[in-house]
Amino acid sequence: FKKVHWEEAMKQEDYELLSTRWVFTYKLDSGSYLERYKARLVIRGDMQMSWDETYSATISSKAIRALIALATAFGYKSWQHDLITAYLNAGIDRDDYFIQMPQGIKGDPNEWLRLKKALYGLKQSPLLWQKEFTKTHLELGFEQVSEEVCLFKNKDSIILFFYVDDVVTLFQPEQEGLAR
């Protein structure tokens, strides 16, 4: 949890103070030995009283099946990747999301913090992440397929689609690799 995600703010009487909690997980290796600890600060979305639009599109299963069939028919390679801490990269669209100083972080526990980035659990986070992902890929020269807003293509025959924070990229292998 870094200061890039929040800024100190004065207590705001007219605004909701969002509840947070720490989620701790343990990552084990293939032999079931502890590899590392992980901690994530999340918004208690179940206690969030006010929110705007929370809808976030997902690609249809019909489109995924069609893309896999096309990739197979035309010899595309695929690369699936999970975007780590995806929601933390999305900016906040309002300036009235406040939390208290999280337990374990140095600072006044009564101090309010204004969120500058989305956190997991915030009801708007999936939509904010989708908007950020879309904006970035449009800036990179991809075109969004209007019928499937989670599907993008570019002029170099790269196709990518995403579902929440999982992304699949389809691309043609190098031409010299196809020569036999």
Task: Write the pLDDT tens digit of every residue in 139-151.
Answer: 999 999 988 999 9
d(C-alpha 64, C-alpha 170), whole Å: 11
d(C-alpha 49, C-alpha 63), whole Å: 35
Nearest to 79 by CA among 162, 163, 171, 157: 171
Q: What is the pLDDT of residue 175?
A: 35
Q: Which two tokens stand for residue 93?
A: 């669209």
Q: What is the pLDDT of residue 5?
A: 80
Q: What is the pLDDT of residue 24?
A: 93
Q: What is the pLDDT of residue 30?
A: 92
The torsion angles phi and psi of 100, rounded to 5 degrees, stand at: -90, 160
Q: What is the pLDDT of residue 75?
A: 92
Rounded average pLDDT over 95-104: 86
pLDDT tens digits for 9-61? Answer: 877 778 888 989 999 999 999 999 999 998 889 999 888 887 777 777 889 99
d(C-alpha 52, C-alpha 66), whole Å: 34
Contacts of 101 (CB under 8 A, 6+ apart): 107, 108, 109, 110, 111, 113
Binning pLDDT at 50, 70 and 90, where does residue 6 land?
Answer: confident
126 CB-contact burial (10 Å; exposed 0-12 / middle 13-18 / buried 19+): buried
Q: Is the whole-model pTM more than 0.75?
A: yes
Per-chain mean pLDDT for the chain: 86
